[in-house]
Amino acid sequence: MRTRAACTAGTSYPAQSRRMGETGKTVVRLTTDETGKVIKTSVVSSSGSSRLDQAAVDAVQRMRCKPYMDNGRAVAVTAQQPIGFELN
């Protein structure tokens, strides 16, 4: 039986991006180790703003994840995480 890795993160909206009205979605590929620690990140799909992309990568790198379990054993896993930036 496999269980999904559960991750939580807080995203900070870059102040300059907020002032400039930049919005978008960045998709970040992440790899977690057997303890759930994020050990590798890369941008798979850009928001169109390097500031938003970097904020998304920073948020993913700070994520806290429960380890991915495969038959009761924690294993490393690679996944994709979308991070959205919207202004209200």
Please, what is the Cα angle at 33 between 67 and 26, to 5 degrees? Answer: 90
**Residue 51 belongs to domain spanning:** 2-85
Residues with Cβ within 8 Å of 4's Cβ and at least 6 positions away in sequence, in order, are: 68
pLDDT per residue over 27-52, tens digit each? 999 999 999 999 999 999 999 999 99
**pTM recorded for the entire structure:** 0.87
Count the domains in the chain: 1
CATH number at residue 74: 3.30.2420.10
Is the CA virtual torsion 83, 74, 78, 33 positive or negative? positive
pLDDT per residue over 49-72, tens digit each? 999 999 999 999 998 888 989 999
* pLDDT band per the 50, 70, 90 thresholds, residue 1: very low
